[in-house]
Structures are given as structure tokens and as C-alpha cells.
A and B are shown apart, each in its own frame.
Chain A
């Protein structure tokens, strides 16, 4: 048998039907659902009299619209439109009998944090959700990607997805990371290297010593942003770190089933000599703490750099860079560490897990954020919030001057009341710096949690290595 990649193996294990032209029906093991991209899909089922084929494999949680302030069980805290969407999910989850974590449930949170936390996401699975950051689950060696609402309806009705196989891409990060460099810096550095379209048509497998050394939280951060590189999905082969994270979670297999699962999971790696259509290699030692300067995630530079000039680019990127600089209010040649910020957002499915908050606490412990700074920390789930409180992190944040919020997507995409105002400038641990992403005319610099914490203290983009 010819050697296979990890992606090949998972694909083959889920092929329910394949037509002669390669159009395939891929069986879906886990379908995650949130309130923004699902109402039209459930409505479609209702109109055609169809049922959810596998409600036991379907997990719903509201996250995009929910307020992150106390007392949010009161529906009046939401705008009418948000309330309608959340209430539609309440109703649909109940009517179609899928697993559901409502706003009032301590386990509620961002769908991509809740899935792994509850043990729904397991190695070797296929996982989809009407959300591009489904790529997060690839950290477990699961084939996970975002789908549109028509596809949400298709999966609800048939538990399959019509797909054609993507190409294989390997991203290897060799060696060790330097102090102050995190998983977020890896994933941004890769996008800086490949561009936002560099992964289009591919499934990426991340490998190499620096990836192996990451915790599951770090691996989720890396895979989360595979989509910003254009890839359909990102994967990391499961290993002991994965098994240790999964073991004992509420929906993870137990007893004899655990042993059987483990036997299969241990076969989930890329065979020696398997073919990759594209290979990108970065040295771990070369990666620095990075920030974005523009309005595309590929606009990445080490924090020690300066704002580029449009003339540094070629083709269509020249005009895009000019537009970005104008939108961001930056001048070519300006030192990145001279950029003053007024807002800090720490959270999201990219960086809203416990390890992210520990990194922040390490930087801000016993210190105060800059006067006038608006800084918020939004846990990825109610359970992350609880753990951070138990570990004493929440106290550290509050003493430093941060707002300590309830779980949700929050200012990552600003569908709830957490938004930037016109001209405000934010150091954010989220995943997108698009125009208007965090609020109309708001300006976003993507950074790691440690870098966001450093910026909160100094009031400007800051090299965290100078503070610790």
C-alpha cells in the first residue's frame, strides 16, 4: 500500500460514497452549531419536512451574539435581533433534539472551546460547523472545517458533506521557540510566509519539534488560524499530549472503548514517504513575537520592525497596502513599538483558553494597566472562567484593571455589545484584523496573549520580552 498522509487516512475512514469524478460524500462525526449560521438551515428542514439525521452527533451552543456582562440571562440585555437569533437556537435545539448548552449553562462558551472541553472532539473524527474557525479542532488530529449554511442544512439532513479531496500541505516548525514566543506567533508567522491565499485548496498538517512541544491549547491556537492562511483545515497528529487532554472528559470514551479508541488513534500519523503537494518549513528559533500592521492577517511583522511602505509590495498588494495604511492611520517607517493603543481584547476561539490567561497573568501580576486603557478579558467558556477564578488569575486581572467578562465570542467579531468605536485602536488576541471587524472603523492589531498583556500595561504595542 502506498504511504498515506494523516489527512488521507482520516478522509478514507469517512468516505461514504465516491463518484467516478471524485465527488465524495464524507461522513461527519460531529456537527457543531451556533446561532448565527444555523437558523436558515433549521428552517430549511422544517420547510421540507426533514429531520436531523443524527441529533446525538450534533451539538449546539449560542456564542456570537451573547453579551459577556453579568445579568445576561435577562434577554433585554440583547438587541432584539440578537435575541431572536438566540431564541431561534433555543427553539431549534429543543425541537430537533440536539445536545444544547444554553446561555444559562456553566458549560456554555465559544463552540470551538466547548467541543474539545466536553470531549466531543476526538482524534480521527470529521468535525464541521458553520464557522470558519472550526479548523481549531484539527489540533486533535480531527479533520475539521467550516461550512456554509446550505451545507449546515445538508449535514443536519444527511450527516454527510459533498466534498472533493483537497491537496496535502506540510508546515514544519523545526527546533525550539525562543522565550516570549508562543503558538500565536507561530501561526501568524506561517501566514506571513504563505499569505492568506497560500493554503487555498490544501489541508495543512503542522509538524516538527516546536509543534510537538506545544500543549493542546497551543495546538488549537495554531490550527485555529489555518483558515486565515486559506487552508480548508489544519491538522496535528495525535500523541500522548492529545490523549492526556482527552482522557476523562465527559464525552470521551471510557474503559474498553478508550483502549480500542487509543489503538486506532495511534495509527493516525503520516507514513514515512507520503506525498505532500507543498511544503513550508520555518525554524522555531527564527520566529519572533509578531504583530499585524494592516487589515489582512498576512500583514505580519516582528514587533521589532517598522510599518512598511506600499512600494515594498508588488501587484494588487500595493493598492491593498495603501488602503490598509490609510485605514489603520499608520505612516511607513514608523516603529511598531511606537503605535499607541487604547483598547486590549484578550479572548476568542484563538486565545480564550486557560493557558492563554496564565500567560497574561504572568505579565500583569502586581502591575496596573495604563491609565485610560479599556482592557477586557473574555473567557472562551464558563468552565475556563471558573478555572481561572480557582487559580487566582481573575483576581490578578481585576487588580491590574482588566474587565473580567463572561464567556462568548465578544469583540473578536463584535456582534454583541463589545465593539470598538470609530478610530479606536486595539491589541487583540483574536484572528482577524479586517476593516470593521471589531467595530465600524475600528483598528485591530493581532497579537499573542502575552503581547496583548504587555500592550495593556504600556499603552503601546510592546515587545513582551522587555517586560518579563
Chain B
């Protein structure tokens, strides 16, 4: 996985609440057996007309947000299905950080597996960042994961929390499976004990 270090980029505002995984990547695009190539269909039904032409007033179609790398979103972002195609599409588009007051649990976990940093902040701070994002391409935010700081375009600094283990994995670009394999002894021992205690499983 690619390392996440310091990111300076354009933030796009999406204040709508409850943006679900069907909005992020509609199911007609789940039929690929690859992990890549979903970016072009990110937010497909909000982004394109039925004939494939772009919907002009959708945020990521506006000239100033076409290269956005950060998304500032409404409450409960990523609710719905477990499809990892949602973070795959977000990453494939080029977005590396999503900021909201809350995320759905599975989506939140899926982000970290794909080098995307989801940041949870209180409403007032999301409001500040949303206003900053609405300034357009001239407003570039900086996300410093190591320092756990967001710097707005006018220099305001907002700190955020992140799970220490998940932060470590993102910073180092670590593969979860490789890390777990290092604990295979614990898994073997557990499996033997469980087979004794609950042989019917």
C-alpha cells in the first residue's frame, strides 16, 4: 500500500448527509473483478446524465474541484453496503482524505486498507473546513498525518484524532496480512484451544 504522509491539495465540499455507498459507486459498476478503474464512475448517478454527459453543477465536475484530493462531507458518510469498491473508486479518482462528523463503520475501516485517511471532527470544525473548501481551487488544505493536523488555506490549524495502529499502518504503507502473519503462533495456539473447548465449530 502507498504511504500516506503529508497531503496538500484541493478540498471539495459535499455537505449532503448520509451519502451512501450506492451513491459513491452504484452497483452496476461492482461487476469488475479488479481493484482499479472505478474512479471514472465515482458518484456516477450524481455526476453524469443518463447519456454519459456530465452534470455541470455536481461539485467534482466544476473546474475548480476536478483535481480535488480531499472531500469534506456531511454526517454518516459511506453508510450502506460493505463494498470496498467505494474506497477503491475514491482512491482511483485521486481523493486521499475524507473529512466528516461521522462515517459508517465498515466504510471507515475499508478506507485505511486503501491508503485513504478518514478524519472525524466535531460539527463546528467540519463547518470551518466546509467553508474553506467552498472557496474553490485557491483554497488548498494541508493534512499532516504525523502531526495529526489540518491547516486551512488561511492558516488555521485543526487537530484530529486517529487510532495509533491505523496511523502507523498508513504512514508506513503496511500490509495488514503480513502483520498478522507475524502472530501466527498466537493464532495456532488459539485454534488448538478452541478446538478442545468447542469441538463442534
Give A residues with C-beta under 8 Å from B.
Answer: 14-17, 19, 21, 23, 25, 27, 29, 36-37, 39-40, 43, 48, 50, 57, 64-65, 79, 81-82, 84-85, 88, 122, 124-125, 130-132, 134, 145-151, 153-154, 157-160, 162, 164, 196-197, 200-201, 230-232, 253, 257-258, 260-261, 264, 296, 298, 315-317, 319-320, 323, 413-415, 432, 434-437, 440
11 more CB-based (< 8 A) A-B contacts, given A40-B33, A150-B84 = A50-B177, A145-B106, A158-B187, A196-B76, A197-B104, A200-B104, A230-B79, A261-B198, A264-B198, A432-B22, A432-B80
Q: How many residues of B contact A (CB 8 A)?
A: 57
Determine which residue in B18, B83, B84, B184 has the highest number of CB atoms from chain A within 10 A of its CB, and name it: B18
Task: List 23 A-B residue pairs with CB atoms under 8 Å apart, sorted by A's residue number.
Answer: A15-B190, A16-B186, A17-B190, A21-B164, A36-B31, A122-B200, A132-B82, A146-B106, A150-B110, A150-B176, A158-B184, A160-B187, A164-B163, A196-B76, A197-B18, A197-B75, A197-B79, A257-B200, A298-B18, A319-B15, A413-B81, A436-B26, A437-B22
Cα(A123)–Cα(B22), bound, Å: 32
Contact status of A36 and B30, CB under 8 A, knowing A17-B186, A50-B177, A316-B16: yes
B201 within 8 A of A: yes
Is A260 in contact with B84, judged by CB distance below 8 angstroms?
no
Q: How far in angstroms is the closest Cβ of chain A from B86? A: 9
Is A196 in contact with B33, judged by CB distance below 8 angstroms?
no
Cα(A257)–Cα(B81), bound, Å: 36
Is A25 in contact with B183, judged by CB distance below 8 angstroms?
yes
Cα(A435)–Cα(B177), bound, Å: 35
Is B23 in contact with A434, judged by CB distance below 8 angstroms?
yes
B122 within 8 A of A: no
Contact status of A260 and B26, CB under 8 A, knowing A25-B186, A39-B33: no
Nearest A residue to B179 via CB reads A162
* 5 A-B pairs with least C-beta separation: A253-B200, A81-B31, A150-B113, A39-B33, A148-B110
**A64 partner residues in chain B, CB cutoff 8 A:** 30
**B187 partner residues in chain A, CB cutoff 8 A:** 16-17, 25, 27, 158-160
Contact status of A436 and B191, CB under 8 A, knowing A23-B165, A84-B31, A200-B76: no
B137 within 8 A of A: no
Nearest B residue to A230 via CB reads B104
Q: How far in angstroms is the closest Cβ of chain A from B120? A: 10
Is B18 in contact with A153, judged by CB distance below 8 angstroms?
no
Is A415 in contact with B79, judged by CB distance below 8 angstroms?
no
B102 within 8 A of A: yes
B114 within 8 A of A: yes
Cα(A19)–Cα(B102), bound, Å: 26
Give B residues with C-beta under 8 Å from A.
Answer: 15-18, 20, 22-23, 26-28, 30-35, 45, 50, 74-76, 79-84, 87, 102-106, 109-110, 113-114, 163-165, 176-177, 179-181, 183-184, 186-187, 189-191, 194, 198-201
Nearest A residue to B194 via CB reads A27
Is A150 in contact with B18, judged by CB distance below 8 angstroms?
no
**B82 partner residues in chain A, CB cutoff 8 A:** 37, 130-132, 134, 146-148
Q: Which residue in B17, B28, B45, B180 is a CB contact (below 8 Å) of A154? A: B180
Q: Which residue in B18, B75, B177 is a CB contact (below 8 Å) of A158? A: B177
Cα(A319)–Cα(B17), bound, Å: 8
Is A196 in contact with B186, judged by CB distance below 8 angstroms?
no
Determine which residue in B163, B187, B194 has the highest number of CB atoms from chain A within 10 A of its CB, and name it: B187
Cα(A463)–Cα(B104), bound, Å: 33
Q: Which residue in B17, B165, B184, B191 is a CB contact (below 8 Å) of A320? A: B17
Is A147 in contact with B106, judged by CB distance below 8 angstroms?
yes
Is B106 in contact with A148, judged by CB distance below 8 angstroms?
yes
Contact status of A85 and B33, CB under 8 A, knowing A17-B186, A125-B201, A148-B113: yes
Q: How far in angstroms is the closest Cβ of chain A from B153? A: 23
Q: Which residue in A29, A158, A296, A414 is a CB contact (below 8 Å) of B180? A: A158
Is B22 in contact with A434, judged by CB distance below 8 angstroms?
yes
Q: How far in angstroms is the closest Cβ of chain B from A308? A: 16
Nearest B residue to A324 via CB reads B18
**B191 partner residues in chain A, CB cutoff 8 A:** 16, 27, 159
**B31 partner residues in chain A, CB cutoff 8 A:** 36, 65, 79, 81-82, 84-85, 415
Is B164 in contact with A153, judged by CB distance below 8 angstroms?
no
Q: Which residue in A19, A23, A125, A132 is a CB contact (below 8 Å) of B81? A: A132
**A29 partner residues in chain B, CB cutoff 8 A:** 201
Is B27 in contact with A415, judged by CB distance below 8 angstroms?
yes
Contact status of A316 and B15, CB under 8 A, knowing A148-B106, A230-B79: yes
Cα(A137)–Cα(B33), bound, Å: 27
Cα(A82)–Cα(B191), bound, Å: 37
Is B109 in contact with A151, judged by CB distance below 8 angstroms?
yes
Is B198 in contact with A196, judged by CB distance below 8 angstroms?
no
**B34 partner residues in chain A, CB cutoff 8 A:** 40
Q: How far in angstroms is the closest Cβ of chain A from B75? A: 6
Nearest B residue to A130 via CB reads B82
Cα(A149)–Cα(B80), bound, Å: 15
**A131 partner residues in chain B, CB cutoff 8 A:** 81-82
Is A260 in contact with B16, judged by CB distance below 8 angstroms?
no
Contact status of A37 and B83, CB under 8 A, knowing A154-B176, A160-B180: yes
Cα(A272)–Cα(B18), bound, Å: 36
Is A17 in contact with B183, judged by CB distance below 8 angstroms?
yes
Nearest A residue to B187 via CB reads A16
Q: Which residue in A25, A39, A150, A260 is a CB contact (below 8 Å) of B200? A: A260
**A320 partner residues in chain B, CB cutoff 8 A:** 16-18, 74
Q: How far in angstroms is the closest Cβ of chain B from A415? A: 5
Determine which residue in A14, A79, A264, A316 has the highest number of CB atoms from chain B within 10 A of its CB, and name it: A316
